[in-house]
Amino acid sequence: MLIKVPPGWTLPESAVTPESAWRSRREILRGLGFVGAASLLPACGLGVRGSPFSGELPPSPYDAYFPVPLNERYAVTERALTDPETATTYNNFYEFTTSKDGVHLLVEDFEVEPWTVEIAGLADNTGTFDVEDLLTRFELEERIYRFRCVEAWAMTVPWSGFPLAKLIEFAAPTSDARYVRFVSANDPAVMPGVSASSSYPWPYHEGLTLAEASNEMALMAAGIYGAGLPRQNGAPLRLITPWKYGYKSIKSIVRVEFVSEQPATFWNTLVPDEYGFESNVDPDVPHPRWSQASERLIPDGEEVPTMKYNGYEEYVSNLYR
Ligand SMILES: Nc1nc2c(c(=O)[nH]1)N[C@H]1C(S)=C(S)[C@@H](COP(=O)(O)O)O[C@H]1N2
Ligand SMILES: [Mo]
């Protein structure tokens, strides 16, 4: 069970108790037509049951780890959850295809079990770890986060996983480590997009400062909607940095490396004028080709104002003073 921590921003009166938070969330889920029998169990103790949904997701070898308790500190109250079908069929995963609605149709041969993650570089506890070792080593929790793609669409998703800070603590970086570099799987034999975009700087790679990576918001996600992460969403383990544009949230991670210099990143290498290293969500900094002042909630297309740091200013602004 998770320890209850006061929410980081003011919640409406109706959402301040575990029961009411759980109930209102169930109502959202029921409104979307996917409340199953499991969700009718009462909220237990201080925690809240994790997302009850799993029926419409493709089976995952990691389903047995989920659902996990919802951590209410990370609720989203001003907008509804995105339905799971949208979140699992409208994807950016260029290793497969640049067509968002085609990714989920191309992942069939992508094997995500067994899977190892290499912890490397400037740290005391480097090595190759089975992903199941990580999923049992760190307490898993569910968090509902806004997710904002640089292309100006947004969704709201219940991710399950563990804070990246826990993995960093486990890795024990040395005092020379100032950045964390992440690398995705890259297997052209089962990823048709790699050869189709052969001039791209594969493997997909990303980076954060060590301070950003240690921030409580940075989540290593292995589940979605109370089930194992579908391959199109970056199984078995991907990063979620919800205050940054979606391309920082690297999928299907095989390597986490502690380094002293700012690492190159996939999109910054490809189009340096359009995609920086930091990439924080900011309504006042337009993309060179479009405004970032508003965003489109998928699938309905409702336009809402973009929030600075995607609404997570209170958690992350101390990183940028
Ligand atoms: N390895 C890898 N990770 C990636 C991408 C990618 O193409 N390859 N796309 C990024 C982008 S642009 C976005 S918006 C999100 C999309 O995540 P989703 O499909 O789970 O919504 O994944 C990010 N992580
Ligand atoms: Mo994106």
pLDDT tens digits, 245-257: 999 999 999 999 9
Q: Are 162 and 133 in contact (CB under 8 A)?
A: no
* Ligand 1 atom with minimal separation from the 203 CA: 1
pLDDT beyond 60 at 7 = no
Q: Is 295 in the pocket of ligand 1 (CB under 6 A)?
A: no
Residue, of 294 and 16, whose pLDDT is higher:
294
Q: What per-residue confidence (pLDDT) applies to 185? A: 98
Q: What per-residue confidence (pLDDT) applies to 49? A: 53
Q: Is 266 in the pocket of ligand 1 (CB under 6 A)?
A: no
Atom 21, ligand 1: which residue's CA is nearest? 91
pLDDT over 70, % of the chain: 83
Q: Are 179 and 124 in contact (CB under 8 A)?
A: no
* Ligand 1 atom with minimal separation from the 193 CA: 7
Q: Is 183 in the pocket of ligand 1 (CB under 6 A)?
A: no
Q: Is 60 in the pocket of ligand 1 (CB under 6 A)?
A: no
For residue 304, CA distances in Å to 78, 153, 245 come to: 11, 10, 16
Q: Give the pLDDT band of residue 269 (cuts 50, 70, 90).
A: very high
Atom 8, ligand 1: which residue's CA is nearest? 93
Q: Is 247 in the pocket of ligand 1 (CB under 6 A)?
A: yes
To test the pocket of ligand 1, the residue of 93, 110, 181 to mutate (highest count of ligand atoms within 8 Å of its CB) is: 93
Distance 302 CA to ligand 2 centre (A): 18
Q: What per-residue confidence (pLDDT) applies to 294? A: 98
pLDDT beyond 80 at 8 = no
Q: What per-residue confidence (pLDDT) applies to 321? A: 87
pLDDT beyond 50 at 15 = no
Q: What per-residue confidence (pLDDT) applies to 29? A: 45
Q: What per-residue confidence (pLDDT) applies to 13? A: 30
Q: Is 207 in the pocket of ligand 1 (CB under 6 A)?
A: no
Q: Are 208 and 131 in contact (CB under 8 A)?
A: no
Lowest model confidence (mean pLDDT) among 48-52, 146-150, 241-245, 252-256: 48-52
Write out pLDDT tens, residues 301-311.
999 999 999 99
> Rounded distance, CA 284 to CA 291, Å?
8
* Residue 233 one-letter amino acid: N
Question: What is the DSSP track for 51-85?
Answer: ----TTSPP-TTGGG----B-GGG---SSPPPPHH
Q: Are 69 and 87 in contact (CB under 8 A)?
A: no
Atom 6, ligand 1: which residue's CA is nearest? 93
Domain boundaries, the chain: 13-320
Q: Are 56 and 34 in contact (CB under 8 A)?
A: yes
Q: Give the pLDDT band of residue 318 (cuts 50, 70, 90).
A: very high
- Mean residue pLDDT of the chain comes to 88
The CB density around residue 114, as the number of other CB atoms within 10 Å, is 10
Q: What per-residue confidence (pLDDT) applies to 274? A: 98
> Rounded distance, CA 105 to CA 180, Å?
32
For residue 286, CA distances in Å to 208, 283, 306 come to: 22, 7, 11
Residue, of 48 and 4, whose pLDDT is higher:
48
Q: In this structure, which ligand is nearest to the CA of 267?
A: 1
Q: What per-residue confidence (pLDDT) applies to 56? A: 75
Q: What per-residue confidence (pLDDT) applies to 51? A: 60
Give me the CATH topology for the region 13-320.
Sulfite Oxidase; Chain A, domain 2 (3.90.420)
Q: Is 251 in the pocket of ligand 1 (CB under 6 A)?
A: yes
pLDDT beyond 90 at 53 = no
How far apart are the two ends of the chain, measured CA to CA in Å?
34
Three-state DSSP class for residue 166: helix
Q: In this structure, which ligand is nearest to the CA of 234?
A: 1
pTM over cut 0.75 = yes
Lowest model confidence (mean pLDDT) among 13-27, 74-88, 292-306: 13-27
Write out pLDDT tens, residues 107-134.
999 999 999 999 999 999 999 999 999 9
Q: Is 267 in the pocket of ligand 1 (CB under 6 A)?
A: no
Q: Give the pLDDT band of residue 6 (cuts 50, 70, 90).
A: very low
Of 114, 84, 109, 125, the C-alpha closest to 233 is 84
How far from chain centre, in Å, is Cα 251?
A: 8
Q: Is 223 in the pocket of ligand 1 (CB under 6 A)?
A: no
Ion ligand 2: protein residues whose beta carbon lies under 5 Å? 92, 149, 246-247
